[in-house]
Structure 1
């Protein structure tokens, strides 16, 4: 029996079929593995399929927002023009890919903002809140509290709460 990672490597050889293959996945841990293996130089069709997938859970959405690709964070900070400036050549040379980028950012940011991503099997620590974690030292707790207070100036709590 092949693992999701092995299946992903086989599917990666045929990029055109990947979004359809992702739609057929049945759980959020498989989506997590796909993102682990994904080469972001291949565009946004696969990440868009992941954030649109009904099994994309809150932890994976947070991971995509904070750890994997900063495009959605840039979109969050300036939803009008930042992505258009960052991807100006893509918008000019590959409008379909630019539309996927915008759709990915909008889907991810709005899904987190409106808290539409369900809780699932995946876990992700945003590095904010979670001050009661017994593994934190007093110093780590103070740093995390300060970091959280600062982040709340720019992000709604829904983007900061870890999914543990």
Structure 2
């Protein structure tokens, strides 16, 4: 995936200014694709230069604020990208490598850090659960809502899995003292 496609997706859902887009990004797609606000603004300029989005000044706004919207060529690019075949991503998981290293050079005190990591995943899980209650109080009926909920469900399951891995690793590390 690329940042341009994440931004095109967000703009296809709803046009907005750069700051609105960055804020929405932080609350949705940003959970699955990280980008700084500076990267977002830089990429918006590239998308505009490519003719995939356009920006118009926001009336009455200070500082040259502009509202971006996706153009037909941007929508076509997004459709092309969605239809591209992609291989499953390679896993690059530092925690798994650190657990393997712990097996060789430990004990290192990794268990204490894993408690913190598990708590961070619990916080993210709680955030996702709040989003689910807020955005999906009942069963989604539209295709769009079903797909959006599926993405959220993937985040929920990921956080649950990470908590379980951390808890099991903590148990193993503490039992082997």
TM-score per shorter chain, which class? under 0.3
Higher share in strand: 2
State which structure, 1 or 2, has the greater radius of gyration over its C-alpha atoms: 2
> Whose relative contact order is higher, 1 or 2, with alpha carbons under 8 Å and at least 6 apart?
1
Q: TM-score, normalised by structure 2?
A: 0.24
